[in-house]
Amino acid sequence: MDRLLRMTAGAGRVRRFLAVTAALAACIRCSTGRHLGGDAEEHDDGSPAVCGNGVVDDGEECDGEPPSPCTTACGSAGQRRCRDCRWDVECSPPDEIWNGTDDDCDTVCDDGFGCCAEWVGTCATDCGSTGRGECSDSCVQVSCVPPRLEICNGADDDCDGRVDEEVWCPDAESPFPWFLATPWASARDDLWASVGHGALARWDGERWTAYCADTAESLLDLWGSGVDDVWGVGSGGTIAHWDGVEWRSSVVLRGTNTDLHGVGGGGRADVWAVGEGGTILHWDGTRWGITPSATTANLRAVRASGARDAWAVGATGAVVHWDGEAWRAVSSGFATDLYDVLSFGPSDAWIVGAEALLAHWDGSGWSRIALDGTVPLRALFGASSDDVWVVGYGTTLLHWDGASWQEATAPSGCDAWYFDLAGTAADDVWAVGSPDFFDPGCRLLNWDGSAWLAVAPPLSVMFEDVSGSADDDIWAVGLGETGGVVVHGDGVAWDRRGLGSWPRGVWASASGDAWVADPPDSGSSSDLWHWDGSTWRPVDHPAGSPVAFWGSSPSDVWVAAYGIQHWDGIAWTVVPGPYGLSFSGFLQSVWGFAPDDVWVGGSGEWVEFCGDCWNVPGIFHWDGLAWSQAWGDWWPRDSSVVDIWGASSDDVWAIKRDVLDEAWASTLLHGNGSEWWPDDVELGEIHASALGGASPDDVWVVGGGGAVHWDGVTWSRAACFPGLYEPKLWTAPSGDVWVAGWPGILHRRP
Ligand SMILES: [Ca+2]
Ligand SMILES: [Ca+2]
Ligand SMILES: [Ca+2]
Ligand SMILES: [Ca+2]
């Protein structure tokens, strides 16, 4: 009953309000002296227009109309009001709402809410790194997710408090990157290149930084639509994506394990990847899917000028074209392998290939450009249809100006072989060439619109060995441009000096006590140098060609040479071989655990027997009194034990390499103190040259083709290992690993 009374009372208030409003309106109208229908008469008799009478008189734009919809300067739905009988000149914006756009035209999207709706992009993480965030709630600020993998930048990217951990980072001592391939640029200060085994290098206009793409596979091509959208493809169907914050490959569903060689596209939601057996995949902005390709040829490259024009080329002259509906085979008439394609539209495309093949598509057929020689042409880049570059094996740099092809000049002294191109404009083109130890600055050139200029820092040292006594006392040796080089790292910086002519081995016995082997084949004044904490001095030793060391203390150091020799703190002496005979094989590796527990490995390159010597490849053990052969490859004798390392005398690993095999096939041997056997780990692509570890369940095997890691249970291939030639390895008790090879040093923090 009470409720009914209240409702009735409420209804009464509404009725009273309406009555008052009507009366007021009537009053206003009355006070103007007007009434409906009287305007025409007033106008006719020349009386002045009256604003507010609801009639649009001469000189008025409006009078009492409701606001009219309009589009604001910032694109939102606004209103124009009738004020003083004139329409607003400006379209008034509405209040801001949470919709992903700026409604009130203050340039800020969804201000007053937690974040801009549907926003996805880069943001600052809690630890100051660049992360990725999204706005999915009107009241919540963006939660900024840090990258999962470290970038080699001296900073903590994943916000776990550790800097550059668990990635292989190029050391500052050695200018990086060492091997450049598959360049792609989004801007003058944003150049990417693959540097092998899942590692990438990025040039920001001032310096290079190493990135990890979370894969052990090398990325064979890169292409992107912008600074925050770059794709890389590689062997085993690998597809990696850069979103502006991090590279990710493990999460990309790709639908193939076929080797992919090329990637290119027309935009962010239109990307093609091509590979073996005519494989073509397409990214539609959401997912990758297989597309019928009209060929079974191995495809090497793909380029698109838009959604309705893409070309893919490959082995034995294979060309297919995408017209927006399907891929269709287009006869090239050439039987040679094609390596790259460039398209400006359905009637303007270029291809290059083996045997100096360069041809143009005019919409109806291919016409070949006559060139001297038979060098393969490798890559194309064009800023516009009258500005096209071609590089090939050799120093060839060709330019099309819309009328003719001309040969361009590399910087004076540069005779690197240029094999790939990238660019962003007519005056910003990159050419990548082969690394050359003696011609280091020429491997990366930039065209500034008028000349090709060398850009890359010089390669510095062909590192041969690395050793240390702690993670703040590391030595590395090698060949520099002007002779032997020894560098010492204190964990912060490297100190570099010349020593010897071409040092091959180094050993840190303790802090302030180190040895360098400089074999006599390089014409050095001494084979062995000793560091006493303040200076290097040559030390006499029995003849031989020392290469590898191990020691338990400054007064117990062994050097593998032409035989094995021992330092007791005072002098070097030859240690007799097994059965009292002398070693004559070339020993390459030595490791031990105590003065009476030492292992050496050697080479069996020589197959002839000698009367009183051991020349088979093998592993020998010293028990304090004599050597015994622990393992030996009696036949064939064409292998070599190139490195030995163990966590303890009953847990020793060794790398046996087939020295006659061009691919340097290697096998990992494992010993338990009484017998040795080959381990199952696949080292085929690794070309293993060194091993080491910090504990029985933390062992690394590295080579020119990457690295594998033993965690005590399984071996796994290391992701993101920048290419190095014939690396050596040293592991600190801390778990820090240094790998030194040609032409640089990698450091992996645990
Ligand atoms: Ca706004
Ligand atoms: Ca808004
Ligand atoms: Ca970290
Ligand atoms: Ca970092």
Q: What confidence tens digit (pLDDT) does each residue in 554-584 have?
A: 999 999 887 889 999 999 999 988 777 777 6
476 C-alpha vs ligand 3 centroid, how far in Å?
A: 26
Stretch (H or E) spanning 702: strand 698-703
Q: Closest ligand to 160 CA? A: 3
216 C-alpha vs ligand 4 centroid, how far in Å?
A: 19
163 C-alpha vs ligand 3 centroid, how far in Å?
A: 5
155 C-alpha vs ligand 3 centroid, how far in Å?
A: 7
Percent of the chain with pLDDT over 90: 69
Higher pLDDT: 8 or 301? It is 301
Residues with CB under 5 A from ligand 4 (ion): 150-151, 153, 155, 157, 164
Tell me how far apart the alpha carbons of residues 504 and 484 are, in angstroms, rounded to a whole number. 9
Tell me how far apart the alpha carbons of residues 344 and 266 are, in angstroms, rounded to a whole number. 11
456 C-alpha vs ligand 4 centroid, how far in Å?
A: 23
**Which phi and psi (to 5°) does residue 28 adopt?**
-60, -50
Tell me how far apart the alpha carbons of residues 518 and 525 are, in angstroms, rounded to a whole number. 9
Distances (CA, A) of 399 to 59, 384, 403, 450: 67, 12, 10, 12
Q: Mind listing the pLDDT tens digit for each residue in 103-159?
A: 999 999 999 998 899 888 899 999 999 999 999 888 887 789 999 999 999 999 999
693 C-alpha vs ligand 3 centroid, how far in Å?
A: 22
Q: Closest ligand to 113 CA? A: 2
What per-residue confidence (pLDDT) applies to 9?
39
Residue ranges of the alpha helices (H) in 107-189? Answer: none
What per-residue confidence (pLDDT) applies to 30?
26
713 C-alpha vs ligand 4 centroid, how far in Å?
A: 28
What per-residue confidence (pLDDT) applies to 229?
97
CB-CB contact of 341 with 351 (8 Å):
yes
**Over residues 663-686, mean pLDDT:** 91
96 C-alpha vs ligand 1 centroid, how far in Å?
A: 6
606 C-alpha vs ligand 4 centroid, how far in Å?
A: 48
708 C-alpha vs ligand 4 centroid, how far in Å?
A: 22
**Cβ density class 382-414: b for 16+ within 10 Å, e for less:** bbebebbbbbbebbbbbebeeeeeeebebeeeb
579 C-alpha vs ligand 3 centroid, how far in Å?
A: 54
What per-residue confidence (pLDDT) applies to 7?
38
What per-residue confidence (pLDDT) applies to 417?
86
Stretch (H or E) spanning 261: strand 260-267
CB-CB contact of 479 with 485 (8 Å):
yes
Q: Closest ligand to 161 CA? A: 3
Q: Mind listing the pLDDT tens digit for each residue in 617-658?
A: 789 999 999 988 898 876 666 788 999 999 999 999 999 998
136 C-alpha vs ligand 2 centroid, how far in Å?
A: 14
Q: Closest ligand to 72 CA? A: 1
pLDDT of 270 over the 80 cut: yes
127 C-alpha vs ligand 1 centroid, how far in Å?
A: 29
Range(s) of the chain covered by CATH 2.130.10.10: 226-454
Q: Which amino acid is at 241?
A: H
What per-residue confidence (pLDDT) applies to 6?
41
Determine how many CB atoms are found less than 10 A away from the CB of residue 26.
10
Q: Mind listing the pLDDT tens digit for each residue in 681-705?
A: 999 889 999 999 999 999 999 999 9
Stretch (H or E) spanning 514: strand 513-517
What per-residue confidence (pLDDT) applies to 12?
41
pLDDT of 101 over the 80 cut: yes
78 C-alpha vs ligand 1 centroid, how far in Å?
A: 13
pLDDT of 54 over the 80 cut: yes
Cα–chain-centroid distance for residue 639?
35
What per-residue confidence (pLDDT) applies to 2?
41
pLDDT of 43 over the 80 cut: no
Residue from 477, 522, 422 nearest 173 by CA: 477
What per-residue confidence (pLDDT) applies to 611?
56
2.170.120, 2.40.128, 2.60.40, 3.40.50: which CATH number matches 576-679?
2.40.128
pLDDT of 462 over the 60 cut: yes
Quickly list DSSP for 421-452: EEEEETTEEEEEE---TTSGGGSEEEE-SS-E
Higher pLDDT: 3 or 610? It is 610
Tell me how far apart the alpha carbons of residues 425 and 449 are, in angstroms, rounded to a whole number. 9
147 C-alpha vs ligand 3 centroid, how far in Å?
A: 9
386 C-alpha vs ligand 4 centroid, how far in Å?
A: 43
156 C-alpha vs ligand 4 centroid, how far in Å?
A: 5
151 C-alpha vs ligand 4 centroid, how far in Å?
A: 4
203 C-alpha vs ligand 1 centroid, how far in Å?
A: 36
Q: Mind listing the pLDDT tens digit for each residue in 284-328?
A: 999 999 999 999 999 999 999 999 999 999 999 999 999 999 999
Q: Which two tokens stand for residue 188?
A: 């003058």
125 C-alpha vs ligand 1 centroid, how far in Å?
A: 24
Q: Closest ligand to 101 CA? A: 2
pLDDT of 610 over the 60 cut: no
Q: Mind listing the pLDDT tens digit for each residue in 706-743?
A: 999 999 999 999 999 998 999 999 999 999 999 999 88
What per-residue confidence (pLDDT) applies to 22?
37
226-454: CATH topology is Methylamine Dehydrogenase; Chain H (2.130.10)
Cis previous bond, 636, omega within 30: yes
Q: Mind listing the pLDDT tens digit for each residue in 204-239?
A: 999 999 999 999 999 999 999 999 999 999 999 999
pTM of this structure? 0.85
Confidence of residue 71 (pLDDT cuts 50, 70, 90): very high
Mean of all residue pLDDT scores within the chain: 88
Range(s) of the chain covered by CATH 2.40.128: 576-679
pLDDT of 521 over the 70 cut: no
163 C-alpha vs ligand 4 centroid, how far in Å?
A: 5
Residue from 90, 118, 114 nearest 104 by CA: 90
- Which of 270-274, 489-493, 595-599, 676-680 shows the lowest per-residue confidence on average (mean pLDDT)? 489-493
Stretch (H or E) spanning 268: none
Confidence of residue 585 (pLDDT cuts 50, 70, 90): low
350 C-alpha vs ligand 1 centroid, how far in Å?
A: 47
